[in-house]
Amino acid sequence: MKLFPYAHATHPQWPMAAGLVLAQLRAQMALHGYASAPTLALLYITDHYAPHAKDILEMLSGELPLVTDWSGTVGVGIAANNVEYFDEPALAVMLLELPSHEYRVFSGIAPLGLGFEAHTALVHADGETPDLVELIDEMAARTDTGYLFGGLCSSRTQSVQFAVAADGNLSGFGAASGVLHGGLSGVAFGEGVGMVSRVTQGCKPVSKARVVTEADHNVVITLDGEPALDVMLRDLGISLEHPQEALEVVRATLVGLVQSPTVGAAGDSALVRQTGNLGSDVTVRHIIGLDPGRRGIAIAAQVQTGAHLAFCQRNREAAQADLVRICAEVREELEPQELTVETAFALQQSEAEAAPHPARRIAGAVYVSCSGRGGPHFGGPSAELQIVRRALGDVPLVGFFAGGEIARNQLFGYTGVLTVFTSA
């Protein structure tokens, strides 16, 4: 698999940004080692461009007639290699050269057919879609691995998705269509498309993991057999005798939840790693109210008796360390035990000299991060994507900042989902 051409640009006028992106893509397609005949494109735009989504797709698809299939969405921010665009007009495109029988673009208008065996899928979704959690779970069940990756579109204007499904067969298709509203869309990939995916958490637990011993829908009534409200007050070191101080602490606190926990050989919960960070199966949810009558706490999720729960707070250092960890895991999984001279040289180049290289075994990457993360949470503009580049290496990458992140069959919050397409 060759490197995926990718490009990104910002400009107050979308035609100028699109023109800059096209120039970058064409230049890369002419380079040795890059895909020269791609058929699938991933397109992400910031919400500044949302009203022009149809025009943007029409221009790009018309100028790239070989690309017959398109998928993507809108975000309050978008991502590319080493840079993120927040609160400014911008777009990013990555072109994938894959066998036409190894992928299918799907949407509510063109559902995934029974004739295609999906191994994994990239999913974009509208957060206002009814029964969204059930739809995500149903989509995951339609893949061999049960693994999805992606996120919910985020926009202060229109929530749009791109979905043009020609399956690599019709040149120039999609010039005047393909912009959708609502539901799910994305790309399902066959078993022949190699990829590695990881979830990184952005919160740090401030209590030990506890068992939900009684719950009523979204109200946790008891934890470890004690009233949940009393446990929370004790864990957070606050008292209702000082309501203002207690309220400020509770507002800054979330819950990490594992509905069907597994326990390791050492007796540790899947909720909290030995390093003290949240595990990758943890979904983070807001505390939305207190129930003084039952001494319970209400959270923004249905809770099952037997689930594991820990109180947590957003933490920059924990988020940085966990992001570096997942990038290191991806690199370790892809690096062969015995390195050729070319591979060793490509992997050891300094950051200034590094460039996308087939020896890294990464053809391209998609990074979906929470809209509540990004540079400000990591210490400065584009800081999150700079961490990814330093830790993962210089690889083609696009993505967006979502209203909720999708990994496996779960909807996450305050996380990042990094997926890399592997080359042989």
pLDDT of residue 338: 52
The pLDDT score that the predictor gives to residue 339 is 52
Which helix H or strand E contains 14, and what residues bound it?
helix 14-29
Q: What pLDDT shows up at residue 54? A: 96
Cα-Cα-Cα-Cα dihedral sign, residues 101, 419, 21, 43: positive
Q: How far apart are CA 193 and CA 385, in angstroms?
A: 25
Query: Which pLDDT value is given to residue 112?
Result: 84
User: What is the structure's pLDDT at 410?
Assistant: 92
**Residue 298's pLDDT is what?**
96
Task: State pLDDT tens for residues 325-348.
Answer: 999 999 988 876 555 656 555 555
pLDDT for res 355: 56
Between the CA of residue 239 and those of 12, 311, 407, what are the distances in Å? 51, 16, 37
- State how far the alpha carbon of 208 is from the alpha carbons of 29, 231, 269, 296, 420, in Å: 51, 11, 10, 18, 33
Please report the pLDDT score of residue 113 as a whole number: 75
Maximum CA extent, the chain: 69
Low-confidence ranges of the chain (pLDDT < 70): 167-177, 261-269, 336-360, 424
The pTM of the whole model exceeds 0.85: yes
List the one residue out of 297, 158, 163, 325 whose CA is nearest residue 234. 297
CA–CA separation, 18 vs 150, rounded Å? 24
The SS3 of residue 342 is: helix
Tell me the pLDDT tens digit for each residue of 1-31.
799 999 999 999 999 999 999 999 999 999 9
Percent of the chain's residues with pLDDT above 70: 89
Q: What's the angle, vertex CA 197, arms to CA 194 and CA 203, rounded to 5? A: 175
Instruction: Return the bridge partners of 140, or none.
Output: none
The pLDDT assigned to 65 comes to 94
